[in-house]
């Protein structure tokens, strides 16, 4: 059986994990994940909260030689500082109040597999030193023990923090940063993904209607443009919340720009800059050009349809659209901030 190409692996990852879209930056991030997967290198995933960073460690794990072993995801920001070492490295019985028995940590549990450390920048400095040792030698010590243990774990970490600033402020070790970021993958924010926003909105609307047995909402041209223009500070998670609300209160309707505006926070409604307080403002001109380009694209599509001209689409986009419309599993958007 021939080895799948990079493009095929990207499309398989989209279908398997419900990743919707064909944005160039998104495809580049997936390409980097697929290419680095077979190599035993640590990976740092960078992106805003809610962009779907948690899918990329799974893509890496499933395309690596470790795919038949355990994959464990740990939210470093949700574990209290007093217990984080115990959770990661384990502890011995009696090492602290409540330690009634020996306990394996995640590094032991994931031995031979992949460990995803989400919000890695939230780790306390003492834990960062322990993590650095694991990355350098594969060795660690349980809390309350003096015995050195070995583990063979691949680390994939993620953060929405400016790591260089965290290093400068003394909140993150520079040597650990370079150990974690042998390869970096940057996830684009939703507001930069263009047509993907409409595809994702349609998928969320279809999923909601199917799950709750309601009439599906649709979007007119102005509403689609408004979806693409909005800044989406909460990224995909916020988009899902908005679509869910529209599906509840506007069930079966064609969503217009006016209806959509009522559900969008007014202070974050546009992607256009609002902080310039002096000098000429080109906000209206940029908005006009944005809308003109979008309208021109719609007219070209309608003209092609009228003339019966079918535009050739790459397999990658075809599969992405299929994922957006027919994938049976809901996208898990419970990304930890």
Domain span at residue 160 reads 24-187
Residue pair 121/171 in contact by the 8 Å Cβ criterion: yes
Report d(CA 14, CA 331) in Å as an integer.
11
Residue 6 located in a structural domain: no
Residue 307 located in a structural domain: no
Last residue of a domain, one of 131, 156, 187: 187
Report d(CA 132, CA 48) in Å as an integer.
25
Residue pair 75/119 in contact by the 8 Å Cβ criterion: yes
* Half-sphere CA count of 303, side-chain side, radius 13 A: 6
Residue-level pLDDT at 39: 97
Residue 312 located in a structural domain: no
**123 shares its domain with 212:** no
Q: Look at 81-85, 180-184, 202-206 and tell me which has the smallest mean pLDDT.
A: 81-85
The token pair at 172 is 């993150």
**28 shares its domain with 114:** yes
Residue 317 located in a structural domain: no
Residue pair 215/252 in contact by the 8 Å Cβ criterion: yes
The token pair at 171 is 């909140």
Report d(CA 187, CA 236) in Å as an integer.
12
172 vs 42, 107, 122, 146, CA distance in Å? 17, 21, 9, 26
Please list, in sequence order, all residues whose beta carbon lies within 8 angstroms of the beta carbon of residue 260, skipping any fewer than 6 positions away: 219, 223, 226, 227, 246
Residue-level pLDDT at 96: 82
**43 shares its domain with 150:** yes
Q: What angle do CA 329, 335, 336 make, to 5 degrees?
A: 155
Residue 216 located in a structural domain: yes
174-190 burial code (b ≥16 CB/10 A, e <16): eebbebbbebebebbbb
Q: Residue 283: pLDDT above 70?
A: no
**124 shares its domain with 179:** yes
**55 shares its domain with 175:** yes
The better pLDDT of the pair 1, 215 is held by 215
Residue 19 located in a structural domain: no
**172 shares its domain with 197:** no
Q: Residue 324: pLDDT above 90?
A: no
CA proximity to 14, closest of 206, 212, 240, 196:
196
pLDDT tier for residue 48 given thresholds of 50, 70 and 90:
very high
| pLDDT per residue as tens digits for the range 237-256 | 999 999 999 999 999 999 99
How many beta carbons lie within 10 A of that of residue 16, not counting itself?
15
How many beta carbons lie within 10 A of that of residue 93, not counting itself?
11
Q: Compute the average pLDDT of residues 308-332.
A: 44
CA of residue 212 relative to chain centroid, distance: 26
**74 shares its domain with 148:** yes
pLDDT tier for residue 56 given thresholds of 50, 70 and 90:
very high
**248 shares its domain with 160:** no
The CATH number that applies at residue 32 is: 3.40.50.300
**76 shares its domain with 167:** yes
Considering just the CA atoms, what is the radius of gyration of the chain in Å? Answer: 23
**180 shares its domain with 213:** no
**32 shares its domain with 173:** yes
pTM for the full model?
0.79
CA proximity to 217, closest of 238, 202, 236:
202
Q: What is the DSSP letter of 113?
A: S
- The distance between the two most distant Cα atoms of the chain, rounded to a whole number of Å, is 78
299 vs 212, 218, 225, CA distance in Å? 35, 19, 14
pLDDT tier for residue 270 given thresholds of 50, 70 and 90:
low
Report d(CA 189, CA 312) in Å as an integer.
28
User: How many structural domains is the chain composed of?
Assistant: 2
Last residue of a domain, one of 187, 215, 233: 187
Q: Residue 81: pLDDT above 60?
A: yes
Residue 58 located in a structural domain: yes
The CATH number that applies at residue 273 is: 1.10.8.60
**33 shares its domain with 169:** yes
Last residue of a domain, one of 144, 160, 187: 187
Burial class (CB in 10 A: 0-12, 13-18, 19+), 40: exposed
Residue 303 located in a structural domain: no
Please list, in sequence order, all residues whose beta carbon lies within 8 angstroms of the beta carbon of residue 162, skipping any fewer than 6 positions away: none
Report d(CA 324, CA 213) in Å as an integer.
19
Mean pLDDT over each residue of the chain, to the nearest integer: 86
């Amino acid at each position: 059986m021939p080895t799948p190409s990079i493009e095929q692996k990207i499309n398989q990852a989209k279908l398997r994990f419900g990743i919707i879209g064909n944005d160039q930056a998104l495809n580049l991030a997936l390409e980097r994940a697929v290419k680095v997967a077979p190599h035993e290198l640590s990976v740092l995933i960078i992106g805003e909260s809610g962009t779907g960073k948690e899918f990329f460690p799974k893509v890496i794990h499933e395309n690596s030689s470790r795919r038949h072993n355990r994959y464990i995801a740990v939210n470093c920001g949700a574990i209290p500082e007093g217990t984080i070492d115990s959770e990661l490295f384990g502890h011995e019985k009696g090492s602290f109040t409540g330690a009634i028995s020996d306990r394996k940590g995640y590094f032991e549990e994931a031995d031979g597999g992949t460990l995803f450390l989400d919000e890695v920048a939230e780790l306390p400095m003492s834990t960062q030193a322990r993590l650095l040792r694991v990355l350098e030698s594969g060795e660690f010590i349980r809390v309350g023990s003096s015995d050195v243990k070995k583990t063979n774990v691949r680390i994939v970490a993620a953060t929405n923090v400016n790591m260089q600033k965290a290093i400068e402020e003394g909140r993150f070790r520079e040597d650990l940063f370079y150990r974690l970021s042998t390869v970096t993958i940057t996830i684009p924010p939703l507001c930069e993904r263009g047509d993907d926003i409409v595809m994702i909105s349609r998928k969320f609307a279809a999923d909601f209607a199917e799950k709750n047995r309601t009439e599906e909402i649709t979007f007119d041209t102005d509403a689609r443009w408004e979806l693409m223009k909005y800044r989406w500070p909460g990224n995909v998670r916020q988009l899902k919340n908005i679509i869910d609300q529209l599906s509840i209160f506007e069930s079966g309707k064609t969503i217009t720009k006016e209806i959509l505006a009522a559900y969008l926070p007014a202070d974050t409604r546009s992607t256009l800059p609002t902080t310039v307080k002096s000098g000429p403002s080109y906000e209206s001109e940029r908005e006009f050009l944005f809308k003109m380009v979008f309208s021109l694209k719609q007219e070209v599509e309608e003209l092609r349809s009228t003339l019966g001209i079918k535009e050739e689409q790459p397999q990658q986009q075809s599969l992405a659209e299929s994922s957006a419309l027919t994938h049976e599993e809901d996208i898990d958007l419970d990304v930890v901030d």
